[in-house]
Amino acid sequence: MKFFVSALVLFFLSACSSMTQMAYRSHTLSIQMGSTHIQLPAVEVAKRVDTYGSVAIYQHILQLDEGNLVVYEDAQTDLEYEFEPTVMRIIDVLFQTHRKVLLFAKDHMRAYQVILSDHAILNLLVQQSDSQQLQLLYGMNAEQMVRILKGLGMPTPKLPYANVMTFHRKERAIQTHWNAQNVHFYPLVVPLPRFFGL
C-alpha cells in the first residue's frame, strides 16, 4: 500500500512538473513549460469567439508593453471530438504556409518562424498538451521572440529571419483561417474513437 501511495505521489509530481500551457488572465499572458514560467504584461484590445459545431476558438488580440499587438488563440473541441492531424499539418492549414522553420521543441511546446503564402514571416508559438486543445501565440517581433525562447530554456536563440510581421492595427492582426471547410471537411477535427462497450 505504501508503494502504491508513493507511486501515486510521484506520478502527480511528474505531471505537474511537465505541465505546459498558455493562458491570458488579469492583463498578463502566461506561458508555462514544466517549472519554467514566463509572464508578459498585455492589455486586451479585442476578443472574438467563433464556433464551428465541434470546436470553439477564442481569439484575444493583446497589446504588449512595446506597443505592438499579438494574437493569442485557444481552440477547444467538444468532449467527443479531437484535433486529428499533427501540429505541423494544422499550422499549414490554418496559416496557409509556404514553409516553416522549427526554432524550438520541448514537451508540448513548439516555436516556429512561419513563411506565409505571400512570403511574409510570422513568429509563432504553439502549445498542444492534449488532443482536444490547441493554443497559438503569434505576432511577436524578433526581440520578443528571442526573450520568450530564452525564457523557455533555449540558451542562445538565433532567428533565421529578423524582418518579421508585427501588428499595430487590430483589424489586421488575426492571421488564422478557421472556417467550416477546414474544420469539418479537411478535417482538422474528428470524432474521438469509440471503444467497444463504451
What pLDDT sits at residue 3?
38
What pLDDT is attached to residue 198? 52
How many C-alpha atoms does 81 have within 13 Å on its Cβ side?
A: 19
Beta pairing, strands 28-33 & 20-25: antiparallel
Residue 104 and residue 113 in contact, taking contact as beta carbons nearer than 8 Å? no
The C-alpha cell 498538451 sits at 129
Do residues 52 and 160 lie in contact, with contact meaning Cβ atoms separated by under 8 Å? Answer: no
Question: For residues 27 and 41, what is the distance between their CA atoms, to the nearest angstrom?
Answer: 6
Residue 20: the pLDDT is: 79
Other residues' Cβ atoms within 10 Å of the Cβ of residue 122: 22
Place of cell 477547444: 76
Phi and psi of 90, rounded to 5°? -60, -45
Per-residue pLDDT tens digits of the chain, which is 198 residues long? 443 333 333 344 344 445 778 999 999 999 998 888 999 999 999 999 999 989 999 999 999 999 999 999 999 999 999 999 899 999 999 999 999 999 999 989 999 999 999 999 999 999 998 999 999 999 999 999 999 999 999 888 999 999 999 999 999 999 999 999 999 999 999 999 875 555
C-alpha cell read off for 54? 465541434
Domain boundaries, the chain: 20-191
- The predicted pLDDT at position 193 comes to 85
> How far apart are the C-alpha atoms of 122 and 116, rounded to whole Å?
8
